Chains A and B, each alone.
Chain A
Amino acid sequence: MNQYLLSICYPAGAVPPSPEVLQAIMKNVGAVNQEMKAAGAWVFAGGLHGPETATVVRVKNGDVLTTDGPFIESKEQIGGICVINAADLDHALKWGAKLARAVTVPVEVRPLQSH
C-alpha cells in the first residue's frame, strides 16, 4: 500500500468563493472525506489558513530564528491537504479527481516516500 499527498492548489489570482459557494464546496469535500474513510483510504485531511498566517523557524549556529511569512513566496497557494492510502497511482488519481471536483480547483497528487 502506498501513501499519497493530495494538495488543493489555488491558482494565482483565484477569487475567493462567495459564502454560498464555499458552503457547497465544504459539503462536497465532507462527502469525499466520508467516502475515503468508508473505503479505508483516508489517513488525514485538513484545510489551511492563508500563507500570511505562516511563521518560519530556522536554526542558525544553534540559535532559533523566527520570522514572519511563508517559506515559499508564491502566487499559487496550497489551500488544504489530504493524505490517502492507495494501491497505486491510478487509485490515488481517482481520489484526486473526486477531490478536485469537490473543491473546483486543481489537486496535486504526490507520492509519500515509503519507509
Chain B
Amino acid sequence: MDVERIFREEYGRAVAVLVRAFRDIGMAEEAVQDAFAAALERWPVTGVPPSPAGWIITTARNRAIDRLRREASRADRHAQAALLLLSEQSEDEDAVEDDRLRLIFTCCHPALATPAQVALTLRLLGGLTTAEIARAFLVPEPTMAQRLVRAKAKIRDAAIPYRLPAEEDLPARVRAVLAVVYLIFNEGYTASSGDRLSREDLCAEAIRLGRLLVELMPNAPEAAGLLALMLLVESRRDARTGAAGELVPLPEQDRTRWNRALIAEGQRIVRACLRANRPGPYQIQAAINAVHADAASAGDIDWPQILQLYDHLLALTPTPIVALNRAVAVAEVDGPEAALAIIEPLDLDSYHLFHAIRADFLARLGRLRAARDAYDSAIARTGNAAEQAFLAAKRDSLAS
C-alpha cells in the first residue's frame, strides 16, 4: 500500500471537490489532510478501499462537516453559512473534473503574482508539500509558507472566484494557466543551481500538470502543444549533460540517449495539432522540436522546415528571443552573415545566449577576436557553472 503515492495523485482532486463544497481553500486542505491522516491509520488494517479517492473525499467532507457543526453550535456565522451552502449542493461526483479545472483557474488568476500562482498550483493541484516547493525554487521554507498563506488570504478576502472564466476572458486565462505550467517546467529544466534531483521532479510535475490540462481542456490545442513541447524537450534530458556534468549542445548530443517513448508521444500530439490546424506558439515550438527529433543525425536536420516554423512563430509572437532563435535557423539555411545581420539590432544585451549565438556566428565568419569577446560577454552573464565551462571551452577552442 502506498498512501504517499495516492496522496500525490489524489490530493488535487480531493482539494478541488472540497473547495467547491466549502468555498474555502484552508478548510478544504485541512479536511483532506485529516482524511489522509485517517487513511494512514486505517488502511494498513482494513486494506486500501476500492476507490481511494472516493474514500478520501467522503472522509474529508464528513470531517469538515463535523468541524463546521461544532463551530456552528458556537454561533460561528461563517460555519453556519458554509453548512447552509453545503446542504444546497447535490453530491455530483461527475463534477470533479470541472472542480479541478475551476481550481486551476483560481490558482492562476491574474490578480495573483506569478510566484504565488506557481506555488499555489504546485501545492493545491500537484499535492507538493510547502517544503518541496521551497526546495525546488531555492527559497527558505518559511518564505514559501508565507507566500502560500498570503495568496490564499487574498483569494478569500478579495473573493477571487472558483469558476470557469467568462467566455471573453477564456483565451487570456488559459494562456496564464499554460504559462504557469511552462514556467514550472523551465525552472526544472534550466537547473541553474542547487539540488539536481528536485529539479528533475519539477519537470516531471510540470508534465503531470500538462497532462491534466489536456485531459481537462480537450478543446484547447495550445494545452496539447505545451504538453508536446515539454515531452520533446524532456526526451533530451539525459543527452544534455556529459559524463562530467558538462553541457552538451543539441547538435553534439548522442541521439541514442534520447528518450524514444517521450519523442513518440510528443510527435503523436504534434501530428494531431497539425490536423486540428489551430496553431499557436506552443504548438509551433513543439513542431520545431519534433523536426529536431526526426533527424537521424545533426547533419540530417531539416533546417528549411525549422526556419519556416520560426517564421510562423515570429509572426505570432514577435519578440527579440524568438527572432534570436530564428536566426540560428537562418544561419543554417542562408549562412552566418545573414544571421548576424538579423541579431545585431536585437535588444538582448543582458541575455547570455544572445552573446553565445553571436559568438558562434562571428567564429563561423572567421572573426575570431570578436567571437572570443562575445563568448566573454556570454560567460559574464550566466551564473550556471556548466554553461560557463561550456562557453569557456568554446572560446578557448578558437585559435588566434
Question: Which residue numbers of A lie inside 8 Å of B, CB to CB?
Answer: 2, 86-90, 92-93, 110-111, 113
Contacts and interface: CB of A to CB of B under 8 A. Distances in A.
A111 B166 contact: no
Task: Give chain B's interface residue range (CB within 8 Å of chain A).
Answer: 10 to 19
B161 interface: yes
Contacts of A92: 159
A2 B159 contact: yes
A113 B159 CA distance: 11
B111 A88 contact: no
Interface string B122-162: 00000000000000000000000000000000000111110
A88 to B, nearest CB: 4
A90 B165 contact: yes
A89 B158 contact: yes
Given A90-B160, A92-B159, A110-B158, 6 more contacts: A88-B159, A89-B111, A89-B159, A90-B161, A93-B111, A111-B159
Contacts of A110: 158
23 contacts: A2-B159, A86-B159, A87-B159, A87-B161, A88-B159, A88-B160, A88-B161, A89-B111, A89-B158, A89-B159, A89-B160, A89-B161, A90-B160, A90-B161, A90-B165, A90-B166, A90-B169, A92-B159, A93-B111, A111-B157, A111-B158, A111-B159, A113-B157
Nearest to B155: A89
Interface of B: 109, 111, 157-161, 165-166, 169
Nearest to B168: A94
A78 to B, nearest CB: 19
Residue with the greatest number of chain A CB neighbours at <10 A, chosen from B157, B159, B160, B161: B159
Contacts of B111: 89, 93
A86 B159 CA distance: 10
Nearest to B161: A88
Contacts of B160: 88-90
A111 B157 CA distance: 7
Contacts of B166: 90
Contacts of A111: 157-159
B19 to A, nearest CB: 14
A90 B109 CA distance: 9
A109 B398 CA distance: 57
A93 B168 CA distance: 14
A88 B157 CA distance: 10
A4 to B, nearest CB: 8
A110 B158 CA distance: 7
A89 B158 CA distance: 6
A113 B158 CA distance: 9
Q: Nearest 5 pairs between A and B by C-beta?
A: A88-B161, A88-B159, A111-B158, A2-B159, A89-B160
Contacts of A86: 159
B101 to A, nearest CB: 16
Contacts of A90: 160-161, 165-166, 169
A92 B159 CA distance: 10
B28 to A, nearest CB: 17
A88 B160 CA distance: 6
A105 B160 CA distance: 23
Nearest to A4: B158
